[in-house]
Amino acid sequence: MRKPFVAGNWKMNKTVDQASVLVQELLPGLQAVPEVEKVLCPPFTSLMVLSAQLAETGVGLGAQNLHWEASGAYTGEVSPSMVKEFCNYVIIGHSERRAYFAETDETVNKKLKAALAAGLTPIVCIGESLEEYEAGQTSEVVKRQVLQGFKEIDNAIASQIVVAYEPIWAIGTGKAATSEGANAVHRDFIRPVLASLFGSAIAQSIRILYGGSVTAANAAEYFKTSDIDGALVGGASLKPDFLKIVEAARP
């Protein structure tokens, strides 16, 4: 019922030429899996060129961030309508943005509203730190992030949101969460909070991805579970391995 969704977060990697070469390498394999919604999220600088390269291919393009204001004196920022010129998706509230650029649940909420208003599909990242995980606070943290980040979102558009549960201790560390552990967070903590906000039918329709050291070797384990609907992939999205992850998500 929920279409599997796999996104690659390229982070601050690849010049325009390098990005274009990687897309050329990945494209035939990505197009061979129409059952999975696929999105590539390169740096802003590559969006224009990749939007032409990916046009009509069935492979989506996303930005890694946006500002909530429409325009103005915000040096270095990019507005929702500027993102929308090239993309249909945007990552919001990645833990690296929360850690290094002072993003909070409040700014996530502003960005989420602005992205939805611009007609973008937001991929909203949540997840606990190692310290919080070890203190048994996962449930409390993800509930707070969803309740505050998703405040005042209309039921009519809520099902367009994609959630990415990314425990910070699993990102780029090679210490992936177990599939049972991540699925339990999705099923027992995140989806029930979404249901409390939007009702159970909408909560059931929202894709919840797992992210954190997903590789070609472990991806299939996640996709076998009841409530992991895809993956947000960092490191492995820069390699041909990404295709194996997308293939593993095939229902």
**How far apart are CB 8 and ligand PEP at their closest, in Å?**
9
Is residue 39 within 8 Å of 61, Cβ to Cβ?
yes
**How far apart are CB 235 and ligand PEP at their closest, in Å?**
3
Closest CB to ligand PEP: residue number: 234
Residue 149 lies near ligand PEP (rule: CB under 6 A): no
Catalytic residue (choose from 37, 96, 103, 166): 166
Residue 90 lies near ligand PEP (rule: CB under 6 A): no
Residue 211 lies near ligand PEP (rule: CB under 6 A): yes
The helix (H) or strand (E) run that includes residue 9 is strand 5-9
Ranges of H-type helices in 150-228: 155-158, 179-184, 191-198, 200-205, 219-223
Residue 172 lies near ligand PEP (rule: CB under 6 A): yes
Alpha-carbon gap, residue 60 to 74, rounded angstroms:
27
Member of 118, 234, 238, 245 binding ligand PEP (CB under 6 A): 234
Retrieve residue 167's tokens. 């425990």
- Look at strands 121-126 and 5-9 and give their pairing: unpaired
- Look at strands 89-92 and 207-211 and give their pairing: unpaired
Residue 199 lies near ligand PEP (rule: CB under 6 A): no
Q: Which residues pair with 116 in a beta bridge?
A: none
Other CB atoms within a 10 A radius of the CB of residue 125 amount to 28
Residue 213 lies near ligand PEP (rule: CB under 6 A): yes
Residue 212 lies near ligand PEP (rule: CB under 6 A): yes
**How far apart are CB 170 and ligand PEP at their closest, in Å?**
6
**How far apart are CB 21 and ligand PEP at their closest, in Å?**
20
Member of 171, 228, 243, 245 binding ligand PEP (CB under 6 A): 171
Residue 179 lies near ligand PEP (rule: CB under 6 A): no
Whose Cβ is closer to ligand PEP: residue 107's or residue 213's?
213
Examine the residue annotation and report whether 166 is marked as an active-site residue of this protein.
Answer: yes
Residue 235 DSSP class:
G
**How far apart are CB 155 and ligand PEP at their closest, in Å?**
28
Examine the residue annotation and report whether 94 is marked as an active-site residue of this protein.
Answer: yes
Member of 233, 238, 245, 249 binding ligand PEP (CB under 6 A): 233
Alpha-carbon gap, residue 97 to 122, rounded angstroms:
15
Residue 9 lies near ligand PEP (rule: CB under 6 A): yes
Residue 219 lies near ligand PEP (rule: CB under 6 A): no
Retrieve residue 231's tokens. 């993956």
How far, in Å, are 39, 45, 100, 172 from residue 20 at the CA level?
15, 11, 28, 24
Q: Which residues pair with 51 in a beta bridge?
A: none
Residue 101 DSSP class:
S
Contacts with ligand PEP by CB under 6 A lie at 9, 166, 171-172, 211-214, 232-236
